[in-house]
Amino acid sequence: MKQRLQIRGLRKRWIINSVGPVTIVLMLIAIFSVLGVTSFYYNSAFSTLEAEARAGADYFNTYSMSSYSTYYRSATQYTATFDSADKIELQFINRYGRIEASTRSLTSGMAPGTPEIDRAMQSGEMERYNGPDPQTGENILAVSCPLKFNGSVVGVMRYVTATRQLDRQVLLTALAIIGVLLVVCCLIAVSNLIFINSVVAPVAEVTEAAKRISGGSYGIQIPNHYNDEMGELVDNINDMSLKISQGEKIQTEFISSVSHELRTPLTAINGWGETLEDETDPQQLRRGIRIITKEARRLTNMVEELLEFSKMQDGRFNLRVEEMDLQAELEDAIYTYREIFRQEGIALEYENPEDLLEAPIIGDPERVKQVLCNLLDNAAKHGGSGKRISVTIRRWDQDYAIDIRDYGPGIPEAELPFVKQRFYKGSSKARGSGIGLAVCDEIAQRHGGRLIIGNAPGGGTVATITLPVKPEEN
């Protein structure tokens, strides 16, 4: 129910934010269009009346104002022959505001009472009026043009027309404009609803899938029927779901593996410790102590790897960089492991490079040595059947490169891209947590270098770590 409310809220926000502004704009267009049409029709009507009044007043002022009798006879004749009498009422009004002659004889002698008559008499200019007729209450348009004799206004020639037909035309035009805009508004609303529904449906599907993923259903896949941004979102969520599922599986396997790996050396240490309590044979004592020392060292390495991994996870993995001699650190690690490997029957081969590697690097000596020791330990652990490990150091362009090769069975090609991933152990049966190479790769990258794992020609695995040489100061 909550999800449906949210979807409805999304649709509501879309309509308000998208269709709402368009509707307001269309309403403003309708209002201004109706006002413009009304103004156009009324101005056109006034222009017609003014043209008629100006022509008639010019004629009378020029030819019919020699005497009152001539003016009255001409006015009566002019009203009798007025062509537009069916649409426009023509009135001749005296200086007292009363009608002397009209195309509608019934209005003769009456006073129209509209204000433009007095204004025309006072100003001597044509005046217009739009409003109700004081006599009938009907809305009219009126134009009053002054008639002059010897330079003085002696009357007004007035043209009057009702606005019924004009208002009807304005109304029909306004209705047509509003109708068109309503159709446009409906089309916009329908198209937006279709669009938002096409968005809401996949959003609801993705939301439901995300809810299932957050509830623990890792690995579920959403059918992707889209080839746009929504399709990209579905692909990303499917990828996220798959990676979470893989991560959950790897983490579960890691916990199981670590539990087993921790239990094994602890069992050996406890067992031999109990055995040696009553042991008096010197040879057996030395053997037990050697096993306890070996298992304790393996346990210590595993705990250190877990601590390093924890630091990597929460951002506490830091370097203490300084200028260091990489060759010296490598030879120190080889010296440390050579005797240990000899006791296990593994030969560790190393030759000093012909050209001395005098250029230093900038790095953390402890971290670099940690990588070297880890790689040597891995070579013995996974390539022990070869009974031989060879180490070389060389200058490679602007980097130093250290190659540590074993002569064991190598790594299956399908597993090579994953060996540096956290918790990954692949098909290897060797003991370990599966995070040693991930820590080494992180350290190499923090130094600006790389860790490359591959199979060597002729068999075995070769691990290459590159570290940049310190730039020479000018």
The CATH number given to whatever domain includes residue 438 is 3.30.565.10
Q: How many helices (H) and strands (E) does the chain have?
A: 10, 12
Residue 196 lies in a domain: no
Structure tokens at 295: 């298992």
Task: List phi, psi (to 5°) of 462.
Answer: -125, 130
Tell me how far apart the alpha carbons of residues 241 and 244 are, in angstroms, rounded to a whole number.
5
237 and 305 fall within a common domain: yes
CA dihedral 131, 132, 135, 136 (to 10 degrees): 140
pLDDT digits (tens, 9 = 90+) for 100-109: 888 887 667 7
292 and 148 fall within a common domain: no
Residue 147 pairs with which residues in a beta bridge? 155
Tell me how far apart the alpha carbons of residues 129 and 136 are, in angstroms, rounded to a whole number.
15
Question: What's the pLDDT score for residue 403?
Answer: 92
Query: What is the average pLDDT value for the chain, to the nearest integer?
Result: 81
| pLDDT at 219 exceeding the cut of 80 | no
The side-by-side arrangement of strands in the sheet containing 89-94 is: 99-102, 89-94, 152-162, 139-149, 127-132
91 and 134 fall within a common domain: yes
Q: How many percent of the chain have pLDDT more than 70?
A: 87
414 and 300 fall within a common domain: no
51 and 133 fall within a common domain: yes
Residue 331 lies in a domain: yes
| pLDDT at 233 exceeding the cut of 90 | no
248 and 146 fall within a common domain: no
Tell me how far apart the alpha carbons of residues 105 and 103 are, in angstroms, rounded to a whole number.
6
Residue 96 lies in a domain: yes
Q: Which domain, by its residues, includes 46?
A: 9-168
Give the range among 31-40, 61-70, 462-471 with minimum mean pLDDT: 61-70
Residue 126 lies in a domain: yes
The residue whose two tokens read 């050396």 is 265
Show the 3-state SS of 411-423: CCHHHHHHCCCCC
Q: What value does the mean pLDDT take over residues 458-470?
A: 88
Find the helix or strand (DSSP H, E) in which 60 lies. Answer: helix 20-63
The residue whose two tokens read 């330990």 is 377
Find the helix or strand (DSSP H, E) in which 464 lies. Answer: strand 461-468
Structural domain ending residue among the three candidates 280, 313, 346? 313
Domain with residue 248: its CATH number is: 1.10.287.130
Residue 80 lies in a domain: yes
pLDDT digits (tens, 9 = 90+) for 87-125: 888 889 988 888 888 888 766 778 888 999 999 989 889
294 and 343 fall within a common domain: no
Tell me how far apart the alpha carbons of residues 57 and 146 are, in angstroms, rounded to a whole number.
7
pLDDT digits (tens, 9 = 90+) for 4-26: 444 456 667 777 777 788 888 88
CA dihedral 173, 176, 180, 182 (to 10 degrees): 110
- What one-character DSSP code corresponds to residue 352? -
Residue 207 lies in a domain: no
350 and 307 fall within a common domain: no
327 and 461 fall within a common domain: yes
Q: Write the Ramachandran bin of 31: left for phi over 0, alpha for psi from -120 to 50, otherwise beta.
A: alpha
Residue 283 lies in a domain: yes
| pLDDT at 244 exceeding the cut of 70 | yes
Q: What value does the mean pLDDT take over residues 223-249?
A: 77
Question: What's the pLDDT score for residue 314?
Answer: 63
Query: Is-contact 455 411, C-beta < 8 A?
Result: yes
300 and 426 fall within a common domain: no
Q: What is the pTM of this model?
A: 0.46
| pLDDT at 473 exceeding the cut of 70 | no
Question: What's the pLDDT score for residue 3?
Answer: 45
Number of Cβ within 10 Å of residue 122's Cβ equals 11
287 and 347 fall within a common domain: no
Question: What's the pLDDT score for residue 159?
Answer: 92
CA dihedral 259, 264, 266, 267 (to 10 degrees): 120
Structural domain ending residue among the three candidates 262, 285, 313? 313
382 and 446 fall within a common domain: yes
Query: Is-contact 378 463, C-beta < 8 A?
Result: yes
- With CA atoms as reference, report the closest residue to 437 among 457, 410, 455, 417: 417
- Band the pLDDT of 207: cuts 50, 70, 90: confident
Positive or negative, the CA dihedral 318, 320, 323, 329 is negative
- Band the pLDDT of 86: cuts 50, 70, 90: confident
| pLDDT at 359 exceeding the cut of 60 | yes
Structure tokens at 459: 């068999």
Give the range among 58-62, 162-166, 400-404 with minimum mean pLDDT: 58-62
Cα separation values, 391 from 350, 366, 394, 401, Å: 5, 19, 10, 11
Distance of CA 93 to the CA centre of its chain: 75
Question: What's the pLDDT score for residue 5?
Answer: 41
- Band the pLDDT of 464: cuts 50, 70, 90: very high
Query: Is-contact 426 411, C-beta < 8 A?
Result: yes
pLDDT digits (tens, 9 = 90+) for 45-81: 899 898 988 888 888 887 777 777 788 888 888 888 8
Find the helix or strand (DSSP H, E) in which 149 lies. Answer: strand 139-149
Question: What is the total count of domains within the chain?
Answer: 3
Structural domain ending residue among the three candidates 168, 184, 216? 168
Tell me how far apart the alpha carbons of residues 344 and 371 are, in angstroms, rounded to a whole number.
21
Residue 188 lies in a domain: no
Q: What value does the mean pLDDT take over residues 252-277?
A: 74
